[in-house]
Amino acid sequence: MSPRLLWYIPNQARPGHRGDDVVAGHNSLETLTAQATALEEHGWDGALLGTGSTVQPRPAARRARRHPPLEFGLRVTTVVRDTAGEAWADAEDRVAAMARGRIARDMNWNAAAGQRRLLDLAARGEVLDRNLYTAPGRYGGAGAATTWLVGSAADVAASLRDYQALGVTHFILSDTPYLPELVRQGDRLLPLLRHDSRQKA
């Protein structure tokens, strides 16, 4: 089964979400249209719009219907550059900026149990597996920005394939600045993942 590859588009009232460029019109119709157009042009399956809320079905409705098998997704920041060295240099520079307070700390950075589990990963090491970078969580990275997959497109694709082998079927990826990164990763990362899926089919 081919993975679903989605890009995260924040829905923030203030510019600069998780280090994104602080520009006028950051959430304007024109900006969102440009992102949607780029998603289509660069091979993404769609987008997850950040809303900050979830809708839960009523308990009676949950009991009354049958569900298809569970599918699992992963929402993660992916720092992809031409080489692993470039990716790590950029990631480390960004974490240093977070440590200096140049990137605002997410106010809910340790509010949820799942978030605390991500933060606990840092106790196991700054880099886990091949390229899961845990340092961002120490300086206020939250949610998908707590841990980052860092490397070349091939490095990150290999890590995403590992998650797919564990049963993950949906991937929601992002990095900032959002528009340039959805283009970069759409052009460099997605072809590797799509190629793998076609070979297995």
- Torsion angle (degrees, nearest 10) of CA 198, 76, 163, 116: -170
Q: Is the pLDDT of residue 192 over 70?
A: yes
Q: Is the pLDDT of residue 109 over 80?
A: no
Tokens of 84: 């692993």
Least confident of 6-10, 56-60, 62-66, 137-141: 56-60
Candidates 173, 144, 134, 181; CA nearest to 157 is 173
Mean pLDDT, the chain, whole residue set: 78
Question: What does the pLDDT average to over 100-107?
Answer: 66
Predicted local confidence at residue 67, as pLDDT:
52
Predicted local confidence at residue 68, as pLDDT:
60
Question: What does the pLDDT average to over 71-98?
Answer: 92
The residues near 79 (Cβ < 8 Å, ≥ 6 apart) are 87, 90, 91, 94, 133, 148, 149, 150, 151, 156, 175
Predicted local confidence at residue 191, as pLDDT:
95
- Whether a cis peptide bond, with omega within 30° of 0, leads into 3 is no
